[in-house]
Structure 1
Amino acid sequence: MRTSIAISGCIVGLLSGFNAFSQYAGDAFRYSEINQNGTARFQSLGGNHAAIGGDASSIFGNPAGLGFYNRSEVAITPVYTSVNSKTDYIGDINNTSKGKFNLAGHASAVFTSQPGFQRKWKRSSFGISYSRQQSFRQEYRFTGFNQNSAYLNKVVEDVNRSGATPSQLEADFDPGTSSSGPLAYSIPAAYYQLYLINPSGVNGPPYTAVDNESPLEQVGTYNATGANTQWTLAYGGNYNDKLYVGGSVGINRIRYKYDRVLQDNYVDSPELNWVDQHEGLTVTGVGINATLGIIYKVNPLFQFGGSLTTPTFSSYRETFSQAVEANYVDGQVTGPEGTLITPDYTYIPLAANDFEYRVVSPFRGSLGGTVFIKNDGFITGTVEYVGYAGMRANTSYLDDAGNRDFKEGTIREIKDIYRNTVNVRVGGEYRVGKFRARAGMGYMADPYVDRANIDRSRLLYSLGAGVRGDRFFADLGGTLSTSKSVYTPYTLNNPAFYSSAVISDKTVNVMLTVGAFF
């Protein structure tokens, strides 16, 4: 579990477990957001899947769209993604850019049966696709001159709240050997061994920071990689060229990794040059979901449709690691006796924590309509419902009481933090002979209950063009997504003494779908 496992046992929950439930509520949300994805054509249309067919994105969108196929096809979509992040922390602005090329953002094959002209059930198609449902790639950096606090102040407040004695902190530390090195089992134990916190007496509390006065320049970095990819099997049929129905099963694979560092650079401190707080997380998981869809053609100029997607039932394994590193003025620091000493350690890792848990993602539903403008193109729109408040997480990794507390606590945090949302998408295509031009946009509503300080809604814009031949097709598309989020390096009892970084992201995707009919 993403908390420090203490040998002494009594300070595990007190020191770092109080915010564990909100961490896993955030994980459930992270793996539940779905980005705009699929072929270049569908992404250029704003990601609309509800009431349009004849594209391989129907396999995982609305599988009823497979009933529109009249010939088989195979296609692949390479994607280039550029993520641009701007941070604002205590008045400092930083910009970071990162790009990544993926050969197969989407790959698919559709196999269509011959039409049954004498039967009301006409064409049917089987599709299989590989799609990149989410990208976790992100990198940002923030800096700020902080005259109020350091991460060290959070450690002091936590250890004083717990009432841990020096002997308990000693029990949470293994000095190791010359070959293995030291290892701490809680953050306060590491800070205690580095003489960054000192007890006021023999029995410990209250502890004080070795430097609680000097201002500091804070530098934070975050680097995340990974993706949520899905293999989907789908089948769709066509009843009398009026009613189109389909279903699909998706199998997800999740890989997520991040490295985070907060460096406190002390200014004119008599004790410290800098203190680094390192953090890393590696997560792997698998999941499964199902989708049912329907499209009804009212007349040649209008059709409507919808789809229902079950929650994705996923299981995850994670490894969470931390470390503390300090650099002292002239290599010495004031110890608890008030004399200068040379610390035995300058870098102490914490024991890595392994944990296994399960997540139930939100239920999703979509409803949309498409209006055709003779043979010149169409306009399509979709309304999506996402039940974020219904997310769940549970585990069998702990004892019975721990498993129950984890489940109930996470449910409580999810309801406190997230709300159900309604998203809107609209797009259109214009046709001239074999040429196609497309545009779309989407509004993804803010899923957070507390929206007083920042609007976390997302706007999606898309453009594209393509050509359709007798035996092949090619589509080029581009999307722009804008969003805001907040990261708080640490919290303190007094909100006036800590700050949050506001992160503004702009993600640009450029994709090319090439395919052939057979």
Structure 2
Amino acid sequence: MEGEITVKRILVMILSVMLFASVLSAQNALDAVRIVQDEMGFGTRALAMGGAYVALADDYTGIYWNPAGLAWMKRSQFWGEVSHLSFNNAATFAGQLTDDSQNYTRLRSLGLAFPLPTRRGSFVVALGYNRVRDFDRNLLFAGINRRSNGLSFTVDDVEYAFDRDLFQREEVSDEGGLNQWAVGAGIAASPNVTVGATLIVWDGNDDYELSFFQEDRDHVYEGRIPLGGGEFTDFHSYERNRTLNTDYSGVGLKLGALFRVTPGMRLGAAVGIPTTFTVEETFAENDLLIFDDGFEDAFEFPSGRFKYKVRTPFHFDGGLALRNRYVTFAAGLRYRDWSQTRFKVDDRLIDDPDFQALLEENRILRQDFRATVDYHLGGEVYLQGLKARLRGGYAVFPTPLENASDDLDKKFISLGISFVVDRYVTLDITYLRGTWKQTSEDEFTPGGTLEEITAHKFLAGLSYRF
């Protein structure tokens, strides 16, 4: 048919920003920050107490929170932990609310800590695998968008817009996390002071998928494109699919100290040395344009790989713990200046346009991001008759964006219980509930979304002491 031959001559011409975004979609200031932004750590006891663990850390999980705490261990410990996350995202787009929930189950930690013989004092070594940061999230929204996204196509040298008053639907998913393969040690420097260090090998991945769809449900676009022979057609729908698989690697170091001020009071401090992450991305993208007469035009964009480096800033942890035989109270904080996050560009690549764009992102990091202080509070009560411990906590993770609303801060409440199964085995159960808001917008959906997120996380940990 003559019309079909004409339609096959379509040249898909989309705004160049879309092509640029497909290559550099994870290479911007915000995504450099997010590598470690939501790093919550691990440990059922620590997280049940709101992450206020810097001045405690007297078990295997001290390898993450404060390696100086390892020196207070008297027995060897094998530790295992799993987590289950239910991520609920209520997104409002173009006045339409869409609620979406996904579940993610992960191995959280597997490790061993053991004291070594010493003439005096204490020397404890720990090693293991720990997942300390989740990328897991989901977003689904739909609605009639009256705004223009600039989308247009050229048929027989005539450009036709397909950009506004359309039903739009978008689904975004992230799955992955950051892991630490760590070796740590704590040593008693004096009867009341311990120090420690943890050497960290980072690895991780993030599998990102975006699926965008728009459709002329209200028949706004009708009969503009001539097919010949008096026949006309127009655009029916457009679909765009994008994947970005990212791998992270790096080497880090954490140093810590614990001070026993009185038998019932401890002070803890730790510092995380800046880590340079190597980031390797593999991206792919395709689209599908469908016409009213049923003709389909598919296009596969060139796939590719990109490699770059991001240096994270120092972080400083401090904490206080008050305890007796039955009650423990703890408080902690973490300071980090996100404006010191940097893309690292080799001098040999300084003239490459892609890497020049990364240097521009460094300027944005300096101007649009700020220092934050995370707050952590927690407590624990020992129920002697039940051989159990009840725990509770609260934590606030402020947004790193300059002049941003407090609604973007992430707030968590936590509860936990620990059962002594026998003289060797302890079972811990922890629940966390996090709430926050965020906005998002991409080149396909102008106007963006307002997201109200509720995260429910359950953790189970098993400790074997010997």
CA change 1:412–1:14 in 2 (3 A) is: farther
Q: Structure 2 CA distance, aligned partners of 1:82 and 1:21? A: 26
Task: Return the alpha-carbon distance in structure 2 between the equivalents of residues 13 and 94 of structure 1.
Answer: 28
Kindly tell me the number of residue pairs found equivalent between the two proteins. 435
For each residue in 1:252-306, what CA deviation from the matched residue of structure 2 results, as whole angstroms up to 9, or x when unmatched? Answer: 1121111102211112021111111221101112111101101100101211111
Q: Secondary structure, in 3 states, of the residue corresponding to 2:407? A: coil
Please say if residues 212 and 444 of structure 2, whose CA atoms lie closer than 8 Å, have aligned partners that are also in contact.
no
Whether the 8 Å CA contact 2:28–2:358 is kept in 1: the answer is no
Output the amino acid matched with 1:506: T
Say whether the 8 Å CA contact 1:132–1:229 is kept in structure 2. yes
* Aligned: 1:252 with 2:196: no
Give 5+ residue unaligned stretches, structure 1.
Answer: 1-10, 157-190, 201-207, 333-344, 493-497
CA deviation string 1:200-231 (max 9, x = no partner): 6xxxxxxx43446x621110111221111111
The corresponding residue for 2:425 is: 472
Measure, in 1, the Cα distance between the counterparts of 2:162 and 2:383: 71
Q: Distance in 2 between matches of 1:382 and 1:243?
A: 19
| 1:461 pairs with 2:413 | yes
- Between the aligned partners of 2:26 and 2:131, the Cα distance in structure 1 is 27
Given the superposition, is the C-alpha separation of residues 252 and 390 from structure 1 closer, same or farther in structure 2, using an over 3 Å criterion? Answer: same
Query: CA offsets, 1:450-485, max 9 Å, x none?
Result: 415x73110011100112442221111111122222
Contact 1:395 / 1:406 at 8 angstroms: preserved in 2?
no
Question: CA, structure 1 residues 89+516, in 2 after alignment: closer, same or farther (shift >3 Å)?
Answer: same
Between structures 1 and 2, the one with greater strand share:
2
Distance 1:18 1:62, change over 3 A: same
Query: What is residue 160 of structure 2 aligned with on the other side?
Result: 209
Partner of 2:4: none
Cα distance in 2 for partners of 1:407, 1:218 equals 31
Instruction: State the distance in 2 between where 1:61 and 1:135 align.
Output: 17
Mapped to 1, the partners of 2:25 and 2:339 lie a distance apart of: 15
SS of equivalent to 1:327: strand
Please state how far the C-alpha of 1:15 moved relative to its aligned partner.
6.9
Partner of 2:315: 364
Q: Is the 8 A contact 2:59 2:77 kept in 1?
A: no
Cα distance change, pair 448–22 in 1 and its aligned pair in 2 (3 A): farther
1:82 to 82, 86, 95: 86
Partner amino acid for 1:105? R
Residue type at the aligned position of 1:470: R
2:329 counterpart (379, 393, 415):
379
The aligned residue for residue 139 of structure 2 is 140
- Inter-partner Cα distance in structure 1 for 2:27 and 2:90: 24
Q: Deviations over 1:140-198 (max 9, x none)?
A: 2101211232x3x1x46xxxxxxxxxxxxxxxxxxxxxxxxxxxxxxxxxx44xx3xx7
Q: Give me the whole-angstrom Cα distance separating, in 1, the residues matched to 2:278 and 2:341.
A: 14
Matched, 1:412 2:360: no
Number of the residue aligned with 1:24: 28
Distance 2:26 2:402 in 1: 14
- The amino acid that maps onto 2:394 is M
**What's the TM-score once normalised by structure 1's chain length?**
0.79
Question: Stretches of 4+ moved more than 6 A in 1?
Answer: 11-15
* Contact kept in structure 1, 2:139 and 2:171, CA below 8 Å: yes
The answer (yes or no) to whether the contact 1:60–1:250 under 8 Å persists in 2 is: no
Relative to the length of structure 2, the TM-score reads: 0.87
Give the corresponding residue for 1:168: none
Q: Which of 306, 309, 328 is the equivalent residue of 2:272? A: 309
- Select which of 105, 108, 111 maps to 1:108: 111
Aligned-pair distance for 1:401? Answer: 0.8
**Aligned residues of 1:21 and 1:410 also touching (Cα < 8 A):** no
Output one character per residue of 1:414-452: Cα deviation in whole Å (capped at 9) or x when no partner: 123321111100001111223211000101111111415
Shift of 1:77: 0.7
Cα contact 1:22–1:410 (8 A) shared by 2: no
For the aligned residue pairs, the C-alpha RMSD in angstroms reads 2.5
Equivalent position of 1:511 in the other structure = 459
8 Å CA contact retained: 1:42, 1:55: no
**Counterpart contact for 2:67–2:195, Cα < 8 Å:** yes
